[in-house]
Amino acid sequence: MNLIQKLKNSERLSHEDGLALYDLDLFTLGEFANKVRQIRHGKKVFFNINRHINPTNICADVCKFCAFSAHRKNPNPYRMTHDEILKIADEAVKNGAKEIHIVSAHNKEGGWQWYLEIFRLIKQKYPSLHVKALTAAEIDFISRSFDMSYEEVIEKMCEYGVDSMPGGGAEIFAENIREKICKGKVSSQNWLKIHSLWHSRGKMSNATMLFGHIESRADRIDHMLRLRAVQDETGGFNAFIPLVYQRENNYLQTSDFLGSAEILKTIAISRLMLDNVPHIKAYWATSTINLAMIAQEFGADDLDGTIQKESIQSAAGAKSANGMALKDFIDIIKTSGYTPVERDSLYNEIKIY
């Protein structure tokens, strides 16, 4: 059946369809993605009031795209004490944060307890603060470093108060590209397995895709389809987050910046391919807030949050180091003709502005 007919009938799309979607003109593609978005979410743009914390940048892995970890191009290694982390949590709560998003480098120094104790301390002090922490890459690292099974690490996460898992570490699943950009890190198969195990505990997570470096369009579609297959089984992914590759201060040379049209196409295609994932997040830190707002007309329905402080993408050139003020966030959503909806980390609506 012809692709347009399949889109009109809301039929499930194949790998071949996904690739063919890139050949549609941007506005035709956008219209189809927007229709799906409107049916699911109307004019709502979701966001949360959150704070990112990155407790250490001293990393055993060497991902070529990463400018955050301490290395020759970005020295200043640090590992925070639990007291320092708690102070950041205090400040975040004072500023209204309802979620703490914690992502660390892969660091053996403090044992698995250093990672896990952080969550227990935060939850003891702020039981209703949502702790989104430990990417599948970190879980894989902890498992290998401290001779624990994935199930054991996940058991500890539940015990120590992790509420949901962030979507980091997915990068791109195509093994030949993964080998070039993040050799030695969690395999694609294990990334997916860890999320499935987490979901089997009745817990939710997100899924990212790092794009705009050396991957092909076919690799992006492959990535989406591997996620769709897991989601069919578990239903545990809340949001898909396409992360636009930032090119400064790292070791991954790319020829060209992707450009807005290709970014919007990829977001729109993810909305159409991932028919079983409720939310598509245009993460403003990697796309700029302006493009993230335009992306709302191309399938996205979420912006992530105000963040307060951002270290991973800003190290690589993004203008996100200090987050965004809540007022600016709300203003830009409203003036774009959308309804700002503050959500919690599991997409329950908290406040409509």
Cα–Cα distance between 230 and 216 in angstroms, integer?
22
Interaction of residue 313 with ligand V47, rule CB under 6 A: yes
Task: Report which of 162, 243, 166 is spatially closest to residue 206, judged by C-alpha positions.
Answer: 166
User: In whole angstroms, how close is the CB of 331 to ligand V47 at the nearest point?
Assistant: 22
How many helices (H) does the chain have, and how many strands (E)? 15, 10
Structural contact between residues 69 and 57, judged by C-beta atoms closer than 8 angstroms = yes
Interaction of residue 198 with ligand V47, rule CB under 6 A: no
Q: Which stretch binds ligand V47 (CB under 6 A): 6-14, 112-120, 143-151, 312-320?
A: 312-320
Under DSSP, is residue 283 helix (H, G, I), strand (E, B) or coil?
Answer: coil
**What does the CA dihedral 76, 79, 83, 85 come to, rounded to 10 degrees?**
80
The residue within the footprint of ligand V47, chosen from 29, 49, 67, 274 (CB under 6 A), is 67
Interaction of residue 154 with ligand V47, rule CB under 6 A: no
Interaction of residue 210 with ligand V47, rule CB under 6 A: yes
- Residue 109 CB neighbours (<10 A): 8
H helix or E strand, kind and range, residue 132: strand 130-133
Interaction of residue 55 with ligand V47, rule CB under 6 A: no
Structural contact between residues 177 and 218, judged by C-beta atoms closer than 8 angstroms = no
User: In whole angstroms, how close is the CB of 66 to ligand V47 at the nearest point?
Assistant: 5
Tokens of 270: 């993810």
Interaction of residue 241 with ligand V47, rule CB under 6 A: yes
Interaction of residue 314 with ligand V47, rule CB under 6 A: no
Interaction of residue 24 with ligand V47, rule CB under 6 A: no
Choice between 206 and 308, CB closer to ligand V47? 206
Residues that contact ligand V47, how many (by CB under 6 A)? 23
Applying CB under 6 A, which residues contact ligand V47? 65-67, 103, 166-169, 171, 206, 208, 210, 241, 243, 245-246, 250, 283, 286, 304, 312-313, 316
